[in-house]
Structure 1
Amino acid sequence: MPLRRPRRLPRIAAWTSSLLLAAGAALFGAGQATAATADFGYVALGDSYSSGVGAGNYDSASGACKRTSRAYPALWAAAHSPQSFAFTACSGARTGDVLSGQLGPLNSGTDLVSITIGGNDAGFSDVMTTCVLQSESSCISRVNQAKAYVDTTLPGQLNQVYDAIRGRAPGAHVVVLGYPRFYKLNGSCIAGLTEGERSAINDAADYLNAAIAKRAADHGFTFASVVGAFTGHEICSASPWLHSVNWTNIGESYHPTAAGQSGGYLPVFTGAA
């Protein structure tokens, strides 16, 4: 939902009453558009995929939340100049963290909200650790455990977050973004996880996205999938937009790079906003 900009006023011929009327109408329309622009507020919530972990250039003031100007919310705000922009997404956030610490900027004047949430609740980090360090059977078992959590527990947690967002910002357009598939199967990787593990992880991402999309739709929110945007840019592709295991900065592993934020998440969000 791009911001409307004031229309240019026509030149006014003082002696032509019809043009004076047209100019008055243009002035009225421009005033409305300017007011709409001035009142527009955007709030970005969520976890590390929204704060921008993996993109670098972190704002030191954000501390462990690792927010960055290279994350899609900041990139969108820089391009569209909303009158107010609150960026509360935080690395490691779970649904409970959103409820307890991120919703403060939401109010009846909020027009647009974005959020990625649910991956940490489902145990994404532990799934990846298990798959990297243990056997294929252990990996697949941990993936199935995460899927069971998505079936039984995550929907209720997402409901609480989405209900709270709607309660605080009743007029906002809410865009819920999903997570990418992580691996290009039969790609260029010659070491690391097995193809069975990579396939199981991709399936888990699809499973999580489907659950999130269902809860978003039931609340009247817009779900925006990034799977298509990242196709051809997964780990093991020729041009990955995701970090593989980053032993130098382990927290950036399996997160979008700066290119993944600007080339993957940003256009998807822009299209849905």
Structure 2
Amino acid sequence: MKLRRSLATAVTAAVAIGVSTLGPAPASAQETAAEKYVALGDSYSSGAGAGSYDSASGDCKRSTQAYPELWAEANAPASFDFTACYGATTTDVVNEQLGPLDTGTTLVTLSVGGNDAGFGDTMLTCVIQGTSACLDAIDTATAYITDTLPGRLDTVYRAVRDEAPNARVVVLGYPRMYELDGSCSFGISEESRAAINGAADHLSEVTAKRAADHGFTYADVRPAFAGHEICSADEWLHSVNLADLGDSYHPTAEGQSGGYYAALEGVA
């Protein structure tokens, strides 16, 4: 989710808040060697927050620690194209990321929707404007997720299927942001944290339904991130990162490996 511009404002305005399903080894090796893998999506797929960015990716912030890179390294597919980009919306994926897809593509991964729903602006509102404004912003985002996002996801999923008719498509969701009653002693209110988690759950449910209706596999990352949210004792998500504001509210390298990569391996 694209937070660089908006969080720069927040820094001056507020205190930062605080079982594998693979088959037998020979068959799996043959299948993996034949894979032609394309990784699409937003910053949760590009690896913003994980560090170790490929300088050639520029503002897309593609990390060598992102789950697509980890999967490609572990499984050695025949080809691997990584077009996911920081800040990408559903429209960006359709217009800018589908080039590598073709009839020979066998695996596609994708996370998208959070930027369409305005989660970056919502988090900014929660940080600098207090609980009431936060809850209003979350209500607006939730209404968008309910009323508008399904159609936008349909557009992406149809485009992916049109360009890669023979591929298995795995759609990955988003984690909850906060451990409730956790270790944070200051920052946004507990009511705001609970509402943010509720919106994340709603986004996951809507995304899972649309993915299933298109015959895609949905990989829910929330179980893997349980106990590793912001305010937990072992965080896999950044809160506000003053060293690199664009990393804020994104998975760390541990979140990419223990959360996203593990979820992908479980279904791919």
After TM superposition, the score normalised by the length of structure 2 is 0.89
Q: Of residues 246, 249, 256 in structure 1, which corresponds to 2:241?
A: 246
Q: Which residue pairs with 1:144 in the alignment?
A: 139
1:116 aligns with 2:111: yes
Q: Which moved more, 1:51-60 or 1:38-47?
A: 38-47
Q: Which residue pairs with 2:59 in the alignment?
A: 64
Conserved in 2, the CA contact under 8 Å of 1:116 and 1:176?
yes
Q: Which residue pairs with 1:13 in the alignment?
A: none
Q: Which residue pairs with 1:82 in the alignment?
A: 77
Q: Which residue pairs with 2:208 in the alignment?
A: 213
Determine the C-alpha separation between the residues in 2 that align with 1:247 and 1:141.
26
Determine the C-alpha separation between the residues in 2 that align with 1:5 and 1:168.
30
Determine the C-alpha separation between the residues in 1 that align with 2:64 and 2:202.
30
Please tell me the residue identity of whatever aligns with 1:258: A
Task: Give the drift of 1:39.
Answer: 3.5
Conserved in 2, the CA contact under 8 Å of 1:179 and 1:227?
yes
Unaligned stretches of 5+ residues in structure 2: 1-20
Determine the C-alpha separation between the residues in 2 that align with 1:43 and 1:216.
17
1:171 aligns with 2:154: no
Q: Which residue pairs with 2:9 in the alignment?
A: none
Determine the C-alpha separation between the residues in 2 that align with 1:39 and 1:211.
32
- Flag the 1:267–1:151 CA change in 2: closer, same or farther, 3 A: same
Conserved in 2, the CA contact under 8 Å of 1:93 and 1:117?
yes
Offset from partner CA, 1:44-91 (integer Å, 9 cap, x none): 000000000000010000000000110000000000000100000000
Q: Which residue pairs with 1:229 in the alignment?
A: 224
Please tell me the residue identity of whatever aligns with 1:43: V
After TM superposition, the score normalised by the length of structure 1 is 0.87
- Flag the 1:2–1:105 CA change in 2: closer, same or farther, 3 A: farther
> Max radius of gyration: which structure?
1
Conserved in 2, the CA contact under 8 Å of 1:49 and 1:116?
yes
Determine the C-alpha separation between the residues in 1 that align with 2:32 and 2:258.
26
Determine the C-alpha separation between the residues in 2 that align with 1:6 and 1:213.
32
1:187 aligns with 2:185: no
Q: Which moved more, 1:245-254 or 1:260-269?
A: 245-254
Q: Which residue pairs with 1:102 in the alignment?
A: 97
Q: Which runs of 4+ in 1 moved over 6 A?
A: none
Determine the C-alpha separation between the residues in 2 that align with 1:3 and 1:242.
32
- Flag the 1:37–1:215 CA change in 2: closer, same or farther, 3 A: closer
Task: Give the drift of 1:5.
Answer: 6.3
Determine the C-alpha separation between the residues in 1 that align with 2:199 and 2:22.
33
Secondary structure class of the residue paired with 2:266: helix
Please tell me the residue identity of whatever aligns with 1:250: L
Unaligned stretches of 5+ residues in structure 1: 8-32
Paired positions, count: 247
Which one has more relative contact order, counting CA pairs under 8 Å at least 6 apart? 2
Task: Give the drift of 1:6.
Answer: 5.1
1:40 aligns with 2:35: yes
Q: Of residues 154, 157, 163 in structure 2, which corresponds to 1:159?
A: 154
Q: Which residue pairs with 2:194 in the alignment?
A: 199
Identity %: 61
Please tell me the residue identity of whatever aligns with 1:224: A
Structure 1 vs Structure 2 CA RMSD = 1.5
